[in-house]
Amino acid sequence: MAKKDIGVCDESTFNEVFRKNGTELFNFLHFKYRDEDEAKDLVQEVFGKLWENCEKVSVEKSKAYLFVVANNLMKNVLSKKSTALKHQEYVKTKEASTETPHYILESSEFEGQLNQALSELPEEQRLTLLLKRIEGKKQREIAEMLGISEKAVEKRLFKAMKHLRKRLGNIL
Amino acid sequence: MQNEELIKKWLNDELTPAEQETFEESEEYKHFSKIWDGLEVASPPFYDVEKELAKFRENQASTTKVIKVSWTKRLVGIAASLLLVSVLSYILFQFTKQNQTLSFTAAQEELYLPDSSLVILNKGSKLSYSPENWAAKRAVELEGEGYFKVKTGSKFEVIAEDGVVSVLGTAFNVKQRASFFEVICHEGKVRVATTQDTTLLTLGKAFQLEAQKVQLFEVTALEPSWLKGESSFHKTPLSVVIDELENQYEISVDADQVSLKGTFTGSFPNDNLELALDAITAPAGYTYQVLNDKVVFTSENN
C-alpha cells in the first residue's frame, strides 16, 4: 500500500480539503488578527504545512490538523500593525448606507467604538467571542479548536463581553 | 456588575425560560444584547476560496520542499531557489535557440523539469531533455544516478544506456554507471524495460542489471541513501562499488593487485574517505594506501 493512499497527497483530495476548510480557517485567522491580508497569507502558510506533511495526515484528521497548525503559527506572528490602527481605517472606509444622517452618526459611532473595543481585547478572547457570535460555534467546538477546556471558553466569553460592556458604557 | 450569573448562563445558552424572562427585563440585558447584535460588524470579509486555492497551487509549483535532504533545510532551500532561478534563466536563454537539448551535470543538485517534477542528480551525473518536445513527451536522458519525483500526468520516461524507466507519477531512483544499471522504486509503480525484458516494480522493489545478469531485491529506505550523503549497495560487484567511490571522491583506485570477484552489501559515507575505504576493504580483507588522489588496494595475504 502506498503511503499516499492514507494521506491527502493526492492533488484532488487536497484541493477538496482546501475548499472545505479554507473559508473557516480564514475567518478564524481574521477574528484573531482583524487583518485580511495577514489572514490570507496565514491560510496559505497553514495549507503549506499540510501539504508538506500530506502523507501523515488523513482526510478525516486534516481539519483538526489545520487548526492546530493555525494555533501554533499564530503564536509566532510578530510585529503586526496595531490592530487598533487598522480599525480606524476600516471604520472610515465603510460603505455608505441609506440610513438617515442621524442614525448613521449614532450607529457608526457605536460601531466605531465597538470595533475599537474589540481591537483592545486580547486576541484569544476576541477569537473565542467571534467564533461564538459570528460562526455560531458551540462552547465545546471552540474548546476543541483551541485546545482548551469548555470552562476556559466560558471564562473568555464572559471576560470579553464584560470588557465590551465596560468600554461602551457611556454610549449604550 | 449585577446579574453576573445570568449573563454567564445567557452566553452559554443555559438560561431557563423563567430566568430568560427575568434577564430580558433587566437594564443589563439591553446593553448586552445591543453589543451582541453589534458584533455583526466583526464579520470577516468575503474569502474567495477558489482564487486562494489557485494561488496556493501556483506557489507550490514554484517553491521547493518535497525532498528532505539532511542538511539544514534553509540552505537547501536557498540553493534550490538559486538553482531554480538559474535553470529558468537557462531555459529562457535556450528558448531563443531552436531545437536545443538542455543538459545538466551535477555534483548532487536539485532541478525542476518544466512540469515541476523534481530531479536530484548524484555526483558525476548528467541529465538532458528537449524543452520543445516536453509538452508532447516527458522524457529525459540520464547518465549516472538521479532520484526522480515525478508529477502525476502522462507517461514520464528516463532513458539510460541499459534500459528505459517509465512511470506515470511517482518517486524512484535510477543509476547507470558503466555497465551497471539499477532502479529502485520509492513510491507508486515503475516500469523498467531493458533489451531483455520488462519488469514492473512496486514500492520498495529494486531492479539491478550487471553484466547481463538481472537481480531483483527489496529496499526499506524511503529515499536513496545518497541524498543523505551515503552510497548504499546491495550485492553489487566490487568493481561497481569502487567506481562509485572514485566518482564521489574524485580519486582513482588501483585495484590491480586484488581480485574484484566478490560483491558488496553495505554503504560508505560520501564525505569521509578513510571511513569509506575501511567500509569497502575490511569485509573483503584488503588493505589500502592513499597517495594523494590515488588509492592502491592490496590483499592482506600478499
CA distance A121 to chain B (A): 13
CA distance A30 to chain B (A): 6
Contact B47 A26 (CB under 8 A): yes
- Which tens digits make up the pLDDT trace of A151-165? 999 999 999 999 999
Provide the β-strand partners of residue B286. Answer: B299
- Which tens digits make up the pLDDT trace of B177-228? 888 999 999 888 888 988 878 888 888 899 999 888 888 998 888 888 888 8
Tell me the domain boundaries of chain B: 4-42, 49-228, 229-302
Query: Hey, what's the cell of B43?
Result: 464579520
Categorize the per-residue pLDDT at A4 as very low, low, confident or very high, splitting at 50, 70 and 90.
very low
Alpha-carbon gap, residue B185 to B222, rounded angstroms? 9
- Which tens digits make up the pLDDT trace of A29-41? 999 988 899 899 9
- Which tens digits make up the pLDDT trace of A62-103? 998 999 888 877 655 543 444 444 444 444 444 444 444 444
Would an 8 Å CB–CB cutoff place B8 in contact with chain A?
yes
Q: E strands along B10-117, which residues? A: 102-106, 109-112
- R_g over Cα of chain B: 30
Contact A48 B36 (CB under 8 A): no
Would an 8 Å CB–CB cutoff place A55 in contact with chain B?
no
Q: For chain A, which domains are there?
A: 3-76 (1.10.1740), 99-167 (1.10.10.10)
User: DSSP labels for A11-54?
Assistant: HHHHHHHHHHHHHHHHHHHHHHH--HHHHHHHHHHHHHHHHHTT
Q: What's residue A21's pLDDT?
A: 94
Check residues B128 and B154 and name the one with the higher pLDDT: B128
- State the complex-level ipTM: 0.79
Q: What's residue A158's pLDDT?
A: 94
Q: Which residues of A touch B1 (CB under 8 A)?
A: 162, 165
Check residues A58 and B74 and name the one with the higher pLDDT: A58
What phi-psi label fits residue B72: left (phi over 0), alpha (psi between -120 and 50 degrees) or beta? beta
Q: What's residue B47's pLDDT?
A: 92
* CATH code at B49-228: 2.60.120.1440
Q: What's residue B182's pLDDT?
A: 94
CATH class of the domain whose range is B229-302: alpha beta
The mean per-residue pLDDT over the stretch B264-286 comes to 88
Q: Which residues of B touch A162 (CB under 8 A)?
A: 1
A160 by Cβ neighbours in 10 Å (0-12 / 13-18 / 19+) ranks as buried
- Annotate B47-75 with b (16+ C-beta within 10 A) or e (fewer): bebeebbeebeeebeeebeebebeeeeee
- Which tens digits make up the pLDDT trace of B31-79? 898 899 999 889 999 999 999 999 999 888 765 444 444 456 667 777 7
Q: What's residue A164's pLDDT?
A: 93
**Cβ-nearest to B188 among A2, A133, A161:** A2
Contact B31 A165 (CB under 8 A): yes
Find which of B55-64, B128-137, B247-256 is predicted with most confidence, using mean pLDDT: B247-256
Whether residue B144 is predicted with pLDDT greater than 60 in this model: the reply is yes
Tell me which residues of chain A, numbers 80 to 139, contact chain B at a CB-CB cutoff of 8 Å.
110-111, 114-115, 118, 129-130, 132-134, 139
Alpha-carbon gap, residue B268 to B271, rounded angstroms? 9
Q: Which residues of B touch A34 (CB under 8 A)?
A: 42
Whether residue B123 is predicted with pLDDT greater than 90 in this model: the reply is no
CA distance A23 to chain B (A): 6
**Percent of chain B predicted with pLDDT > 70:** 88
**Percent of chain A predicted with pLDDT > 90:** 42
Contact B55 A44 (CB under 8 A): yes
Contact B11 A157 (CB under 8 A): yes
Q: Which residues of B touch A36 (CB under 8 A)?
A: 44-45
Tell me which residues of chain B, numbers 83 to 102, contact chain A at a CB-CB cutoff of 8 Å.
none
Would an 8 Å CB–CB cutoff place A31 in contact with chain B?
yes
Whether residue B101 is predicted with pLDDT greater than 70 in this model: the reply is no
Size of interface A-B (CB pairs under 8 A): 100
Would an 8 Å CB–CB cutoff place B7 in contact with chain A?
yes
